[in-house]
Structure 1
Amino acid sequence: MDQIQHKFIEANGLKLHIAEIGTGPLVVVFLHGFPEIWYTWRHQMIAVANAGYRAIAPDYRGYGLSDPPPEPEKTSFSDLVSDLFAILDALSIHRVFLICKDFGARPACLFSLLHPERVSGAVTLGVPFMPPSPSAFHKYLPEGFYVSRWLEPGRAEADFGRLDVKTVVRNIYILFSRSEIPIAGEDQEIMDLVEPSTPLPAWFTEEDLAIYGALYEKSGFQTALQVPYRSIHEVFNIPDPKVEIPVLLIMGEKDYILKFPGMGDYIRSGQVKVVVPNLEIKYLPEGTHFVHEQFPDQVNQLILAFLNNHS
């Protein structure tokens, strides 16, 4: 990990943190999900750098070591797209591969639609590219669905506030590593779904958790709750949203996301190819939502094969 370098980029009036390793003209930018920060890509960054690529992993605004926006409650996915554009321009990088996880698929998809000349290809993990319309999954799941709970201003803040930050991250990692959608009962909060004695996933160490905990101690959860959860109704006016670049989707067969209403069918039926015609899908049979941390060697091989094929 010591070989990964860190710097700050001035972008849209904020100091945004990026982690970086490797050199050369072929650049790979990693976009994290929640509750992640740049560190989630530690295995992939080293692997692509060793293969001759330059790897860059930003913390989104309000995440990790990046500055919080002046009004976190107004942050949007459009801001993340604008920040990515500004980071690339600040680094004089014209064209990149995007590798994204979880909700990182949305800014990656939007960036690919709005700036196709800047993207050579994309790899997405856990969440496919979808039409850039407001999310509606919460309408078809019980009130205790974690997204519905976190959409409600103050609800997650009160729930998380009962625990220290490290425990909140620990619980979310445990919940999101399961194959069932996190849904609380009427008399429960989302944090109540994890017993204090529950061990971390075998592939996520106490040292990893300490790093996440320290970064969320700095940033808090305010911006992280706004994007993605409280921004899911954002509207994008993009006619004929079709991503023409090559895209690889890597899914764990045990990822709870596949149980979102319609999601499994959207992927397996080929409907996803309406949005992403040049799509390849790879499944890892035992993979969960954090497949890139759970099975880094397998995921790295898939990513490197994709990069090499399209470089």
Structure 2
Amino acid sequence: MENIKQSHVEVRGLKLHVAEIGSGPKSVLFLHGFPEIWYTWRHQMIAVANAGYRAIAIDFRGYGLSEQPSEPEKGTFHDLVEDIVALLDSLSIKKVFLVGKDFGAIPAYLVAAVHPERVIAVVTLGVPFVVPGPSAVQNHLLPKGFYVTRWQEPGRAEADFGRFDVKSVIRNIYTLFSRSEVPVASDDQEIMDLFNPSTPLPPWFSEEDLATYASLYEKSGFKFALQVPYRSLTVDMGINDPKVTIPALLIMGEKDYVIKFPGMEDYIRSGTVKHFVPELEITFLPEGTHFVHEQLPEKVNPLVINFLDKQSF
């Protein structure tokens, strides 16, 4: 970990926090989800660097050590897409591998769809190809206490999270979202109330990991994180019939709660997703949860590296 260099890069008027290791001719840009941050990729960054790649992970704008936009409540996925392209320009990277986890999969696929000349291949974990818009997540098919629905309501998550310190919020979400059940609160509960204080951290997530996450979110708070992805998930990107025509790999844990989103498992297993990503390979890991890359790096890292190694540059 001590070999990972930390810096800030000016991107579209904001300083983005960039972590980097390795110096190979091919670059891999890692895109985090929520409640993650650049540090979520610690295992993968070291592995791909050792395999001869330049590994880069960022904190998205408004997250961790990256600067906040002036109007976070107006943020959309479009901002993340443009940030990624501008970052590649700033780092003089013509073409890149993109690896996205959770909502980080969305801008990874969008950059590949809109700027295919900049992307060699895409790897996503936990979330398949999804485009923001009114039908991105079928909230209406889940109970009204569905966590996405709750967090999309202005002020509600802020009040829920605000009852705890940042470290407790991260602990609660990591523990809750490691389960295979979709997080759904009853009418007299908030999402944080679903957490049982006697539940230990997942065995693959240490107190030191928790402290690192907490320190980064203490810097940024959750304001932009609630806007992007949750409150901007229904904002149409204006992309007609998006296609990702480059090679792609989807890694899903069989115990990932996202598989239980309405229609999600059929969308993946039936191959419908390949209508949008024709060159998609899909791998399921039987014991994998939503945080499969942190839980099972010894399985995820070879899958990622073998996929990267197969691609021509």
Q: Give the corresponding residue for 1:128.
A: 128
- Give, in angstroms, the shift of residue 178 of structure 1: 0.2
Taking the aligned partners of 1:131 and 1:11, their CA distance within structure 2 comes to: 24
In the TM superposition, residue 105 of structure 1 has moved relative to its aligned partner by 1.0
Aligned residues: 311
Q: Give the match for residue 280 of structure 1.
A: 281
**Are 2:132 and 2:233, in contact at CA under 8 Å, matched by a contact in 1?**
no
The equivalent residue for 2:307 is: 306
> In the aligned structure 2, how far is the partner of 1:237 from the partner of 1:145?
27
The offset of 1:239, in angstroms, is 2.4
Paired amino acid for 1:65: L
Kindly indicate whether the alpha-carbon contact (under 8 Å) linking 1:247 and 1:276 is maintained by their aligned counterparts in 2: yes
Match of 2:148, as an amino acid?
A: V
**TM-score, length-scaled by structure 1:** 0.99
Deviation of 1:264 (Å): 0.3
Is this contact kept in 1: 2:24–2:49, CA < 8 A?
no
Structure 1 equivalent of residue 240 of structure 2: 239
Cα deviation for residue 139 of structure 1 reads: 1.5
TM alignment of 1:141-180, pairs within 5 A: 141-180=142-181
- SS of equivalent to 1:187: coil
CA distance in 1 between counterparts of 2:155 and 2:239 reads: 32
Equivalent residue of 1:104, what SS? helix
RMSD in angstroms over aligned alpha carbons? Answer: 0.8
Q: Distance in 1 between matches of 2:166 and 2:138?
A: 27
Question: Residue 10 of structure 1: SS of its match in structure 2?
Answer: strand
Stretches of 4+ aligned residues off by more than 6 angstroms: none
Q: Is the 8 A contact 2:145 2:184 kept in 1?
A: yes
Per the alignment, do residues 131 and 214 of structure 1 end up closer, same or farther by CA in structure 2, a change over 3 Å counting?
closer
Q: CA deviation at 1:136?
A: 3.4
In the TM superposition, 1:1-311 aligns within 5 A as 1-134=1-134, 135-311=136-312
Q: Matched residue of 1:307: which SS?
A: helix
Contact 2:182–2:258, Cα closer than 8 Å, also in 1: yes
Q: Which runs of 5+ in 2 are unaligned?
A: none
8 Å Cα contact 1:252/1:289 also seen in 2: yes
Give the SS at the match of 1:282.
Answer: strand
Q: Secondary structure at the match of 1:27?
A: strand
Q: CA deviation at 1:233?
A: 1.1
Q: Distance in 2 between matches of 1:130 and 1:274?
A: 12
The answer on whether the counterparts of 1:131 and 1:275 sit within 8 Å (CA) in structure 2 is no
The one-letter code of the counterpart of 1:60 is: F
Q: More displaced, 292-301 or 236-245?
A: 236-245
Classify the secondary structure of the residue corresponding to 1:133.
coil
Q: Aligned-pair distance for 1:24?
A: 2.3
Rounded to whole Å, the distance in 1 between the matches of 2:165 and 2:210 is: 12
Spell out, residue by residue over 1:17-44, the C-alpha distance to the aligned partner (whole angstroms, 9 max, x if none): 0100000220000000000000000000
State the AA in 2 paired with 1:225.
L
CA shift for structure 1 position 131: 4.1
Q: Is the 8 A contact 1:31 1:58 kept in 2?
A: yes
Letter matched to residue 8 of structure 1: H
Q: Structure 1 residue 240: deviation in Å?
A: 2.4
Deviation at 1:132, TM superposition (A): 4.7
Which is further off, 153-162 or 130-139? 130-139
CA distance in 2, matches of 1:74, 1:132: 15
- Please give the secondary structure, in 1, of the residue aligned with 2:80: helix
For the 8 Å contact 1:171–1:191, the answer to whether it is kept is yes
Q: How big is each residue's C-alpha offset from its partner over 1:190-231, in whole Å with a ceiling of 9 and x where there is no partner?
A: 000001121000000000000000111100000000000000
Q: For 1:149, what is the secondary structure of its paired residue?
A: helix
CA–CA distance in structure 1, aligned partners of residues 239 and 163 of structure 2: 41
Partner letter of residue 286 of structure 2? P
8 Å contact from structure 1 (residues 16, 58) kept in 2: yes
Name the % identity: 69
Partners of 2:157 and 2:294 lie apart in 1 by 26
Partners in 2 of 1:251 and 1:283 — Cα distance?
5
SS at match of 1:57: strand
Whole-angstrom distance in 2 between the partners of 1:132 and 1:233: 6
Q: Distance in 1 between matches of 2:24 and 2:281?
A: 26
TM-score (structure 2 length as normaliser): 0.98
C-alpha contact 1:132 1:241 (8 A) present in aligned 2 = no
